[in-house]
A and B are shown apart, each in its own frame.
Chain A
């Protein structure tokens, strides 16, 4: 038995296998994921595993190595998020997102740090040796909202697109702030004296970290696009370039102490458009599927390891400190959201409602990033206290907030509902008005950054496209491109169904989809059963206005969700009419 020889890859594969089997297990019970978010279940599995290992070996189970987390587990998730990020809502709300990410995080860090320092002054808690700097350091790592946890929970609750993108964007971009503050305070801990010059250097460093990350990401992104211009004859390795360049951008940024997360997001968003135009259809599908697969595996592993690492002797349980940490995290986040939203609403007519604010505040989940950062702390005698506090905060936010956010959202939504159900006519007319308004908004160019979007488009068509795209002919409008894509796809589907050549393609496609319900007698429209059925039919079949569909989903590819199906049907109908 040569176990030593294969030990490392064997164990890694076993962990991944465990994660995937756990996932299958959850989805076997259909109702379970709707009550308990997947992240909670995975942590629970991790806890069990940790308990088993502890029981067997009688020592602490392997703690998740911070390097493994930051170098191997985090990049796929962020890449997936960045690649499939719906760019229109993201850039529409970029001001608000940046405000929450930067100002909000700084507010939280200093708020939590100073209040915890205040708590430490109380003699009864035996905490006086925790200095202000230590508290600020702790604050910097616990304040950051975690994209992994947020993503995992938010896709269970269906909030409107704007809200989703706000919380999601904030959780991704606050990495830059977290990195700077964490490293800043850590270096301050080692310096004997701190001058104000150092503080200013810290502020300047923030800009360097953020903008540097974006630059690194964009340069790798454009290089990737340029490379794919020449891959016409070796289609099989095209997907590889996407992943290699993105990962390189992450590693390069980390090497220069810039923000890797921002870099990889910028890389993905920058290269997406050109790469998709250059690579073949099959490579495109491969890229999408692999990204989803890797991010899914990473996500699962992170939560399991979180559970495993919780068990053990790494903790010092000073309950006052821990409780107050939790309280301050919640309080400062709520305050921060309130104050920032007040400012945001002054400048935008489209206000963020109080229900939205509650969700933003409540959705500030902490996750694995804080956990890894706390293990990276230099060893000092209070480190275990911080580890314990971090663990409790993460478990609380993921379990309690994660599980209760959905019922709370539903509760808040129910309060706004009308007293009586709308009549059939009202339903139709309201939907009619919604579509009308969506169309008018599109015509009037509703979003404020249109000026910059135009400029970017101009720059793009004049210079970038010529360099980065393989065949630069007459630029086709996006409708024509979309239509061509759909035509191809439907032609393939029809050919496979053996229907090509039996007459005009599109009418037969439509007729086959139409299900005529023959066992219903619809003569009497006064019948209440028929009426309910009608309302149900309408509720199910009326096309939704495009903004209410969730734009980013962890588990499905874009283009497979319901709003996209409706869009396809509409385009086919228009083609018939043209």
Chain B
């Protein structure tokens, strides 16, 4: 659960982004943030906020997406295992990232999807062949069931040595 002051801060941020003042954000509102324009994944991140097929996101949806990035408190780690998994668990954080790769939502990152993301993240000095072989190598390292695509479980395994909890958490309060 998010604290009261955090909610207030996020709400003031939400309203300052909402230039149309109609209580929802559209894609243009996000695109107005200058730093997102030079972020290679900018468009995909923006899309992640909008539920399937919709063009507006309300505050609840805004908060729900951002809740994935809340740091994991120590006292939450040993909470009851029977309740629903919190949005900011390691698994859910990774699933959020996975969904940014997996555009067609088939729970697999295919070679093409990987290539698309790679192309967005590297400069113009890499040829298509080089990129292709990098993609092949990536899939080869991760693929365990031989389907030439990365499933979510394989994705999790690749990143098992990485401190995802720390990497995918933002400090809401400065």
Given the contacts A433-B167, A531-B137, A542 and B45 also touching, CB distance less than 8 Å? no
Give A569 to B129 CA distance when docked, in angstroms. 20
B4 is an interface residue with CB less than 8 A from chain A: no
Query: Closest CB-CB distance, B155 to chain A, in whole Å?
Result: 8
Decide: B127 and A436 in contact? CB cutoff 8 A.
no
Instruction: Return chain B residues, CB-CB under 8 Å to A432.
Output: 41, 97, 100-101, 117, 121
Which residues of A are found within 8 Å of B39, using beta-carbon distances? 435, 438-439, 442, 546, 570
Contact call A440/B130, Cβ cutoff below 8 A: no
Checking A439, A516, A520, A537 against B134 with a beta-carbon cut-off of 8 angstroms, the contacting residue is A537
**Known A424-B134, A436-B168, A517-B130; contact A349-B123, beta-carbon cutoff 8 A:** no
A130 in contact (CB, < 8 A)? no
Assess whether A530 is in contact with B41, with CB atoms less than 8 Å apart: no
Asked if B66 contacts A569 (CB within 8 A), the reply is no
Task: Report the minimum CB–CB distance from A353 to chain B (whole Å).
Answer: 12
CB of B69 within 8 A of CB of A440, answer yes
Write the A516-560 contact mask toward B (1 if CB under 8 angstroms, else 0).
Answer: 110010100100001100100110011100100000000000000
Residues of B within 8 A of A569 (CB): 123-124
Contacts of B174 in A (CB 8 A): 92, 348-350, 446-449
Are B12 and A451 neighbours in the complex by a CB distance under 8 Å?
A: yes
CA distance A214 to B158 in the complex (A): 53
Question: Which of A429, A446, A479, A525 lies in contact with B133, CB distance below 8 A?
Answer: A525
Contact A443 B173 (CB under 8 A): no
Which listed residue (B117, B140, B155, B171) contacts A350, Cβ 8 A? B171
Complex-state Cα separation, A569 to B123, whole angstroms: 7
Q: B45 touches which one: A439, A447, A478, A530 (CB < 8 A)?
A: A439
Beyond A424-B134, A513-B124, A513-B125, whether A446 also contacts B170 by CB under 8 A is: yes
A289 lies within 8 A of chain B by Cβ: no
Within 8 A of B (CB), among A204-244: none
Q: Which of B37-71 contact A (CB under 8 A)?
A: 37-42, 45, 49, 66, 69
Main secondary structure of the interface of B (DSSP, over half): helix
CA distance A434 to B168 in the complex (A): 8
Does A444 lie within 8 Å of B38, measured CB to CB? no
Per the bound structure, the CA–CA distance linking A454 and B9 in Å amounts to 13
- CB of A543 within 8 A of CB of B37, answer no
- Find chain A residues with CB under 8 A from B161 CB: 418, 426
Give the distance to chain B from A465, nearest Cβ to Cβ, in Å: 17
Q: Are A434 and B36 in contact (CB under 8 A)?
A: no
Instruction: Answer yes or no: A510 CB below 8 A from chain B CBs.
Output: yes
List A422-463 residues whose CB lies under 8 Å from chain B. 423-426, 428-451, 454
Q: Contact partner of B125 among A441, A443, A448, A515, CB < 8 A?
A: A515
A510 touching B141 by the CB < 8 A rule? no
Determine how close the nearest CB of chain A comes to the CB of B82; give it in whole angstroms.
30
How many chain A residues have a CB neighbour from B under 8 Å? Answer: 63
Which residue of chain A is the closest to B140 with respect to CB atoms? A525
Q: Quick check: A426 and B137 within 8 Å, CB to CB?
A: no
The answer, yes or no, to whether A477 is at the interface (CB within 8 Å) is: yes
B13 near A439: Cβ-Cβ < 8 Å? no
Chain B contacts for A479, CB-based, 8 A: 31-32, 34, 37
Chain B residue numbers with a CB within 8 Å of A570 are 37-40
By the criterion CB–CB under 8 Å, are B10 and A436 in contact?
A: no
Is the CB of A566 closer than 8 A to any CB of chain B?
yes
In the complex, are the beta carbons of B100 and A546 less than 8 A apart? no
Give complex CA distance A530, B132 in Å.
13
Q: Contact at B167–A430, with CB atoms within 8 Å?
A: yes
Q: Tell whether, in the assembled complex, residue A437 and residue B168 are in contact, meaning their CB atoms are under 8 Å apart.
A: yes
Select from chain B the residue with minimum beta-carbon distance to A450: B13
Q: Which residues of B contact A92 (CB under 8 A)?
A: 174
Task: Report which of A441, A450, A537, A546 forms a contact with B38, defined as CB distance below 8 A.
Answer: A546
Residue of B33, B124, B155, B164 ringed by the most chain A CB atoms within 10 A: B124
Closest Cβ–Cβ distance, residue B65 to chain A (whole Å): 8
Partner pick for B158 among A429, A447, A531, A542, CB 8 A cutoff: A429
Q: Which residues of the partner chain A approach B142 to less than 8 Å between Cβ atoms?
A: 425
Chain A proximity of B131: nearest CB distance (Å)? 9
User: Measured between alpha carbons, how far is A426 from B159 in the docked complex, in Å?
Assistant: 7
A442-B35, A442-B39 are known contacts. Are A522 and B158 too (CB-CB below 8 A)?
no
Contact of B124 among A350, A438, A510 (CB under 8 A): A510
Instruction: State A449–B173 Cα separation when bound (angstroms).
Output: 11
Q: How far is the CA of A453 from the CA of B130 in the complex (A)?
A: 44
- B87 on interface, CB distance cutoff 8 Å: no
When distances are taken between beta carbons in the complex, the residues of chain B under 8 Å from A442 are 33, 35-36, 39
Contact B122 A517 (CB under 8 A): no
- State whether the Cβ of A71 lies closer than 8 Å to any Cβ in chain B: no
- Tell me the minimal C-beta distance from A527 to chain B in angstroms: 10
B residues less than 8 Å from A567 (CB atoms): 38
Which residues on A sit within 8 Å (CB–CB) of B92? none
Please indicate which of the listed interface residues B33, B37, B162 has the most CB atoms of chain A within 10 Å of its own CB: B37
Tell me whether A437 and B38 are in contact (CB under 8 A).
no
Contacts of A437 in B (CB 8 A): 69, 167-168, 170
Residues of chain A contacted by B12 (CB below 8 angstroms): 450-451
CB <8 Å contact, B124 and A444: no
Q: State the Cβ distance, B170 to closest chain A Cβ, in Å.
A: 5
Q: Is A514 an interface residue (CB 8 A)?
A: yes
Whole-angstrom distance between the alpha carbons of A125 and B69 in the complex? Answer: 61
- Chain A residue nearest to B154 (CB atoms) is A425
Interface residues in A174-194 (C-beta closer than 8 Å to B): none
**Inter-subunit contact A537/B13 (CB<8 Å):** no
CB distance from A57 to the nearest CB of B (A): 58
14 further contact pairs, Cβ within 8 A, besides A433-B164, A537-B130, A538-B122? A424-B141, A428-B134, A429-B155, A429-B159, A433-B97, A444-B170, A450-B12, A450-B16, A479-B31, A522-B133, A541-B122, A541-B125, A543-B122, A567-B38
14 CB < 8 A contacts A-B: A430-B167, A432-B117, A435-B121, A436-B97, A439-B45, A442-B35, A442-B39, A445-B13, A513-B125, A522-B129, A546-B35, A569-B124, A570-B37, A574-B42
Query: 7 shortest A-B CB distances, which residue pairs?
Result: A448-B174, A349-B171, A445-B13, A439-B45, A425-B138, A567-B38, A442-B35
